[in-house]
Amino acid sequence: MTAAASAITNRRVLAIAVPIVLSNATIPILGAVDTAVVGQLGQAAPIGAVGLGAVILATIYWVFGFLRMGTTGMVAQARGAGETAETGALLMRGLLIAAAAGLVFVAGQAAVFWAAFRVAPASPEVERLARAYLSIRIWGAPATIAIYALTGWLIAMERTRGVLTLQLAMNGLNVVLSVTFVLVLGWGVPGVAAATLIAEWTGLAIGLWLCRSAFAGDRWRDWARVFDPKRLRRMASVNGDILIRSVVLQASFTAFMFFGAGLGDVTLAANQVLLQFLSITAYALDGFAFAAEALVGQTRGVRDRAALRRAAIVASEWGVGSSLLLALVFVVAGPWLVDVMATAPAVRTEARAYLPWIAAAPVVGIAAWMLDGIFIGATETRAMRNAAMVSVAVYAAAIAILLPAFGNHGLWAALMVLNLTRGITLGLRYPALEARAG
């Protein structure tokens, strides 16, 4: 076993996971600050424009999440196998994909914006401001997509403190510039967009510096390796499976919101409040899933079945413990958190009625979260894709049965069924994954 794949310890898992958890904690803060800054303009339209523009771009960029996950799994395996040259080549491939995709979005921005506002129409004033916001932000597309690949590489190399540094620098700069451009210089919505654009390109520069060891020597520009057809086909296969899996899961979460909207405005608002609890859960548990990605990938690369099993178990133990702690927090502090996030009495009452589902969510979903990390690290992405498709089909059946009978309780129950099924379907495939490890 190589040094990278040896000594799977609790300390090592925490060294990977804790910086990711702290890094994730900065994400909602940035959105809150941007909203607060434009809120000082005293008008509703700027708030709506920034929110709408950010959602449009987040949806576009979300598609490229496969670069983060695929890069982590493949680089971790290359590292475990001692293939240093391949770790650099993999990062280079990711950056080239990001550059190409970003330039396509910049060149085709008119079509992108037209399609976005057809799907999400807004008032003339909000659309005007949102277009101004997007016309600035879109120039950050190559940088933003590239950061997915850089982050995946850092996680695979167990340099998650670098991920934390990157997020703190980007988001901190964004906050400072937003306040300066909007409240001091009076640039309004374009000021928020300019602040984010500068932060994105600065983040790319910092990320490249953090990944500078990948560019040591000439191996990263070994074009015969970078463009090797066999390696490109494998990368395309892994990333394609992850993309399909992510799309069907995102569709299931979108469907949850759509069905909730059909139950009335109060129920829709209550569900939106409660979904923030799920976001907190995902942010908190991501760290341990990412640890599983890095460690399982390395042990898979060195083909050490025992080490792979230990990596999966140790990371999952921390994940399970954290899920139980989160469930307890939601039971004890849930009503207070609801009151903080919602002021309308009807929304508060409605949200509290469904808090038991939120308390159950971390415990029910932990197997799916951790197995996702294990399968990404092992690059068993076809199994992930198939499990997601089966799970979403079961989820659709659960909604068809439970929603008419139990209303919003049935909708939340169906969401639990989705995550439970994801855990079961991946769990059934785990023995085969482990068998192929050695």
**81 Cβ contact partners less than 8 Å away, ≥ 6 residues apart:** 2, 301, 302, 303
φ/ψ (deg, to 5) at 248: -70, -35
Assigned token pair, 37: 């800054």
Q: In Å, what is the CA distance from 340 to each residue of 140, 273, 333, 335, 347?
A: 34, 10, 11, 9, 12
Give the integer Cα–Cα distance in Å for 59 and 147: 16
Q: What is the predicted pLDDT for the residue at 261?
A: 78
- Calculate mean pLDDT across residues 174-201: 91
The pLDDT tens digits for 401-426 are: 999 999 999 999 999 999 999 999 99
Residues 75, 231 contacting (CB under 8 angstroms): no
Q: Confidence band (pLDDT; 50, 70, 90) for 296?
A: very high
Specify the pLDDT at position 176.
92
Is the pLDDT at 231 greater than 60? The verdict is yes
The pTM of the full predicted model, rounded to 2 decimals, is 0.90
Task: Please list the helix, strand and coil fractions of the chain in percent, rounded to the nearest 5, in that order.
Answer: 90, 0, 10
Spatial neighbors of 115 by CB under 8 A, at least 6 apart, are none
pLDDT band for 26, please (50, 70, 90 cuts): confident
pLDDT at 53 over 90: no
Q: What is the pLDDT of residues 243-262, one digit of tens each?
A: 999 999 988 988 887 888 78
Residue 102: DSSP 8-state = H
100: DSSP letter = H
- List pLDDT tens digits, range 301-337: 999 999 999 999 999 999 999 999 999 999 999 898 8
Pull the structure tokens for residue 61.
Answer: 């960029």
Which pLDDT band, with edges at 50, 70 and 90, does 6 fall under? low
Q: What pLDDT score does 4 carry?
A: 46
Percent of the chain with pLDDT strictly greater than 70: 96
Query: Does the pLDDT value for residue 2 go beyond 60?
Result: no
